[in-house]
Structures are given as C-alpha cells and as structure tokens.
Structure 1
Amino acid sequence: MSMPHRAVRRVEKAETLDRIAKPVSSMVKRVVRPRRVRNLFSGTNLGHPLHPMLTDVPIGAWTMAGLLDAVGGREGEPAADLLVTTGVVAAVPTAVTGMNDWSDTLGSERRVGLVHATANTAALTLYAASLAARSRGDRRKGKALGFAGLGVMVVSAYLGGHLTFVKGVNVNRTAWQRGPDEWTPVLAAAELAEGEHRTADADGVRVLLHRTDGKVHALAATCSHMGGPLGGGTFDDGCVTCPWHGSTFRFADGGIVRGPASTPQPCYETRIQGGRIEVRVPPAAAPADVVEDRAHRMRRRLPTRTPAS
C-alpha cells in the first residue's frame, strides 16, 4: 500500500472526526432540505452529480495561475491574477454542492469528506489572501500564497478522487444492473394486491413491484443514489421515496421527483401471463444486439404468407 493510501486509511479510521462531522452534517441537511434546493445542488436535472463538474473550474484556473506565476514573467501577471480570481469565485458554488453531497455520507466516507472540505477551505483562504496581496502590488507574497494554496488543493483533489473512485460516493448504484432482456416471471399476480408492493428477483436483479390503478409497475429495488432499499421506503401519488436520503422516483418511468439522486431509477416493462407477473428491460433501453435478437425471434414466430394464386 502506497504512502498516500496509508495516510487516507488513517483518516478513515479517525473516529474523533465524528465529533465535528456529525453536527456539521446535520446542519447542512437542514439547509438543503427544500426540494428545489436539494435538486439544484444535487444535479438532479443534469443526470449526474453537479459537484464533480464544478471542481474542474477552480482546479484548472488555479493550476494555470501557478504555471504563469512560475514561468509567465511580467507578461503573464494579468492573466495569472484573472485566473486566481476565477478560481476564487468558482470555488464558492463548488464548495456548496460538495457540502450537499457530503451530508449524505456516513462513517469513513464522512471523515474523509470532512478533511477534504477543510483542505478546500484552506486552499480558498490562501488564494483569497493571494488575490488581496496581488491587488496591493505585493507580487512576491501573492505568488507565495498562491503556491501554498496550490499544494493544499492537490491534497484535497487526491481526497476527492479517493471518495469517488475508491469509496464510490455518489456513484450510480444501478450502473451494472441489467435485468432480464426476455419476459421473466417474478411473482404470482395474486400475491400483489392493489396498492401493495413486493420485491422479487429478476434474473439476479432485485426489482420493486407496485400495483396501482390496476397496473403493475417495476423499478430496480436498489436506489441509484447510495444503494438504499426502496422496498423499505414510502409510497405515495405514484412514487416511491428512499428511506435513506429521501430520493423520490416515479413508478411510471423511474424519473426523479426529488434528489439527492441524479440518475433515474431503472424501470422495467411488466405484464401478467399465466397468472404470474413478468418483467423485462424495455426495448428502448436494451443494447442494439438484444433488440435485433428479439426482432429476429419475432420474425421466426410469424406465419409464412404464400402469394395468392
């Protein structure tokens, strides 16, 4: 295990951080509770989280400012100052969306996220001080503060990468779930009364079944946001709400009504055949080879017509 990896593992186990993380997380949750706020900060209407996209701006701006400070000479000073300013301004919405995402974490992810946020705050403070020094004409101090901020930012970026790619924070938890491409029986129709729900296995994937207005709907039973069990959620007005973080999905199409989820819930076609509920992946969502295979089998089942004599 590498030295950076060992260091971040120690942060994961530092339970003393919970004394700070828990109350701060609770405060953030209260602030982002309104649906419009939650959807905006979570990137609900984008199709993926908003925070990772916003990080590109301050990271890119501050990195290029550091390069110009190092080798740009006098000609590069105006551009370097503009890039520092851009990074400072962009860091604010980046931090806000990051806190929104962090408030849903627990345990080791929350501890690493707290250190990540602290490092980001330190980097922003250093760059703001650098900008102030530059505006006073103290170029040497401005550069020194900028280089210090760049170093802290690199550490923070490493922690952010660890949260995403090692811990899987805010990664779509249904990305590798396919479900059956052919009609697959999952439950006896008599076992699902009007207004009731059940979870069942469909070709190795857990699906959530719900009957409303006489129609059976089926969604992936694992919440796309953080893997919460939708079968243990609440059901109202044709929607299911995850019991973990409150993401709300429509049964009709898996669409998101309320974040923090940003990826729609996989939705399956249903039918009742021989007294059993059957499900399959919709043709529009199936890979091209599966769609062609279905069409080929349908053509084989059609009776052959002979020309009229």
Structure 2
Amino acid sequence: MSMPQKMVRRLERAEPLDKAAKPLSKLVQRAVQPRFVRNMLSGTNLGHPLHPALTDVTIGAWSMATLLDAVGGCEAEPAADLLVKTGVIAAVPTALTGMNDWSDTLDGDRRVGLVHAAANTVALGLFAASMVERARGNRFSGKALGFAGFGFMSMSAYLGGHLSFTKGVNVNRTAWQEGPEDWTPVLGENELAEGGHRTADAGGVQILLHRTDGKVYALAATCSHMGGPLPEGTFERGCVTCPWHGSTFRFKDGGIVRGPASSPQPCYETRVHDGRIEVRVPPEGIPVGPAKERHARTSRRLLARIPAT
C-alpha cells in the first residue's frame, strides 16, 4: 500500500473528526432541505452530480495559473491573474455542491470528506489572497501564495478522487442492473393489493412492485443515489421516497421528483398474465445488455493478449 493510501486509511479511522463532521453535516442537511435547493445542488435535472463538473473549472484554472506563474514569464502574467480569479469565482458553487453531496456520507467517507473540504477551504483562501496581492502589484508574494494554494488543492483533489473512484461516493448504484429482457413472472396477481407494495426477484435483480389505481408499476428496489432500500420508504401520490436521504421517484417512469438522486430509477414494464405479474426491461432498454456484453468481450480479448508472468 502506498503512502497516500495509508494516509487516507488513517483518515477513515480518525473518529475524533466526527466531533466536527457530525454537527456540520446536520447543519448542511437543514440548509439544503428545500426541494429547489436540493435538486439544484445535486444536479438532479442534469442527469449526474453537478459537483464533479464544477471541480474541473476550479482545478483547471488554478493549475494553468500555477503553470504560467512557473514558466510563463512576464507576458503570461495577465493570463495567470485572470485564471486565478476564474478559479476563485468557480470555487464558490463548487464548494456548495460539494457540501451538499458530502452531507449524505457517513463514517470514514464523511471523515475523509471533511478533510477534503478543509483543504479546499485553505486552497481557496490562499488563491484569494494571491488574487489580492497580484492586484496590488506584489507579484512575488502573489505567486508564492498561488504555489501554496496549488499544493493544498492537489491534496484535496487526491482525496476527492479517492471518495469518487475508490469508495464510489455518489455514483449511480443501479448502473449495472439490467433485469430480464423477456416477460418474467415475479409474483401472483392476488399477492399485491391495491396501494400495496412487494419486493420480488426478476432475473437476479430486486424489483419493487407497487399497485395504484389498479395498475402495477415496477422500479429497481435499490435507490440509485446511495443504495438505499426503497421498499422501506414512503409511498405517496404515485411516488416512492427513499428512507435514507429523501430521494423521490415517480413509479410511472422512474423520474426524479426530489434529489439528492441525479440518476433516474430503472423502470420496468409490467403486465398480468395467467394470474401472475410479469416484468421486463422496456424495449428501448434491451440494447444496453448486448452493448455491455460486447464491451466485456473486448476486455477479455485485450486481457488475453497480456503475457502471463
């Protein structure tokens, strides 16, 4: 295990960080409670989380400013100054969306996220100070503050990458769920009463069935946001609300009514045949399976070319 990995593991186990993380998380959760705020910061209408896209602007601007400060010379100074300002401005919505996403984490992820946010805050402060010094004509101190800010930003970026790509924080938890392409019986028609809901297995995928106004609807039973158990949620007005973080989905199409979810819930076609409720992936979703299988075959061919050691 590399030194950075060891450092992150220690952060995940640093329970004293909970003294700050828990109350701050509760404060953020109250602040983002309104549906408009939650949906906007979560990227609900974007189709994926908003925070990662915004980080590219801040990291890109500050990275290029640091590069120009290091090797650009006098002619690059106006461009470097503009990039520092751009990063400072972009850092504000980036921080807001990041805090929104972080408020849903727990335990080790929340501790690492707290340090990630703290490093970002220090980086923002240093680059803001750099911006002021540059405006005053203090080029040397402005560059020095920018270099220090770049160091903290780099550390924060590493922690953010760990949370996203190692821990899978805020990724779509239903991305690889497909379900049956052919009509598959999952439950007896009489086993699902009006207004009731049941969980059933359909081709190895857990499906949430709900009957309302005489029609049966089916969604993936695992919340796309953080993997919450939708069958334990609340059912109202043709929607289900996840008990973990309050993401609300429409049964008729899996669409999101309220975040923090940003990926729609997989929705399945239903019918009643010979007294049994049957489900299948909608016809437009069927090509997804073969595409993934082609990808898997390509991966296997590439791996086969690697000589054994």
Give the TM-score band, short-chain normalised: over 0.9
- In the TM superposition, what are the counterparts of 1:2-151 in structure 2 within 5 Å? 2-151=2-151
Q: Which amino acid aligns with 1:248?
A: T
Mapped pair 1:157 → 2:157: yes
**Does the 8 Å CA contact 1:181/1:290 hold for their aligned counterparts?**
no
Following superposition, the deviation at residue 114 of structure 1 comes to 0.2
The whole-number CA distance in structure 1 between the counterparts of 2:166 and 2:222 is 20
Following superposition, the deviation at residue 108 of structure 1 comes to 0.5
- In the TM superposition, what are the counterparts of 1:200-239 in structure 2 within 5 Å? 200-239=200-239
Matched residue of 2:117: which SS? Answer: helix
Following superposition, the deviation at residue 213 of structure 1 comes to 0.7
Q: Which amino acid aligns with 1:169?
A: V
The whole-number CA distance in structure 2 between the counterparts of 1:71 and 1:203 is 58
Q: Which amino acid aligns with 1:124?
A: L
Distance 1:283 1:37, change over 3 A: same
- In the TM superposition, what are the counterparts of 1:286-297 in structure 2 within 5 Å? 286-287=286-287
Report the equivalent of 2:195: 195
Following superposition, the deviation at residue 288 of structure 1 comes to 6.8
The whole-number CA distance in structure 1 between the counterparts of 2:15 and 2:98 is 21
Q: Which amino acid aligns with 1:176?
A: W
The whole-number CA distance in structure 2 between the counterparts of 1:16 and 1:290 is 48
The whole-number CA distance in structure 2 between the counterparts of 1:61 and 1:288 is 37
The whole-number CA distance in structure 1 between the counterparts of 2:261 and 2:6 is 31
Report the equivalent of 2:246: 246
The whole-number CA distance in structure 1 between the counterparts of 2:248 and 2:275 is 30
Matched residue of 1:38: which SS? Answer: helix
The whole-number CA distance in structure 2 between the counterparts of 1:19 and 1:161 is 24
The whole-number CA distance in structure 1 between the counterparts of 2:52 and 2:129 is 25
Distance 1:9 1:193, change over 3 A: same
Matched residue of 2:199: which SS? Answer: strand
Distance 1:290 1:216, change over 3 A: farther
Which whole-Å deviations, capped at 9, do the CAs of 1:136-161 have from their partners, x for residues lacking one? 11100000000000011000000000
The whole-number CA distance in structure 2 between the counterparts of 1:289 and 1:161 is 29
Q: Which amino acid aligns with 1:246?
A: G
The whole-number CA distance in structure 2 between the counterparts of 1:289 and 1:272 is 25
Q: Which amino acid aligns with 2:90?
A: A
**Does the 8 Å CA contact 1:255/1:265 hold for their aligned counterparts?**
yes
**Does the 8 Å CA contact 2:178/2:289 hold for their aligned counterparts?**
no
Distance 1:289 1:20, change over 3 A: closer
Matched residue of 2:91: which SS? Answer: helix
**Does the 8 Å CA contact 2:271/2:277 hold for their aligned counterparts?**
yes
**Does the 8 Å CA contact 1:38/1:260 hold for their aligned counterparts?**
yes
Following superposition, the deviation at residue 285 of structure 1 comes to 1.2
Listed as ranges, the gaps of 5+ residues in structure 2 are 292-309
The whole-number CA distance in structure 2 between the counterparts of 1:128 and 1:92 is 12
Following superposition, the deviation at residue 290 of structure 1 comes to 6.3
Matched residue of 1:178: which SS? Answer: coil
Distance 1:288 1:145, change over 3 A: closer
The whole-number CA distance in structure 2 between the counterparts of 1:29 and 1:288 is 36
CA RMSD of aligned residues (A): 1.1
Mapped pair 1:176 → 2:176: yes
Which whole-Å deviations, capped at 9, do the CAs of 1:11-62 have from their partners, x for residues lacking one? 0000000000000000000000000000000000000000000000110000
Matched residue of 1:129: which SS? Answer: helix
Report the equivalent of 1:301: none
Matched residue of 1:199: which SS? Answer: strand
Normalising by structure 2, report the TM-score: 0.93
The whole-number CA distance in structure 2 between the counterparts of 1:164 and 1:180 is 29
**Does the 8 Å CA contact 1:269/1:279 hold for their aligned counterparts?**
yes
The whole-number CA distance in structure 2 between the counterparts of 1:290 and 1:39 is 33
Report the equivalent of 2:185: 185
Matched residue of 1:165: which SS? Answer: helix
Listed as ranges, the gaps of 5+ residues in structure 1 are 292-309
The whole-number CA distance in structure 2 between the counterparts of 1:135 and 1:60 is 21
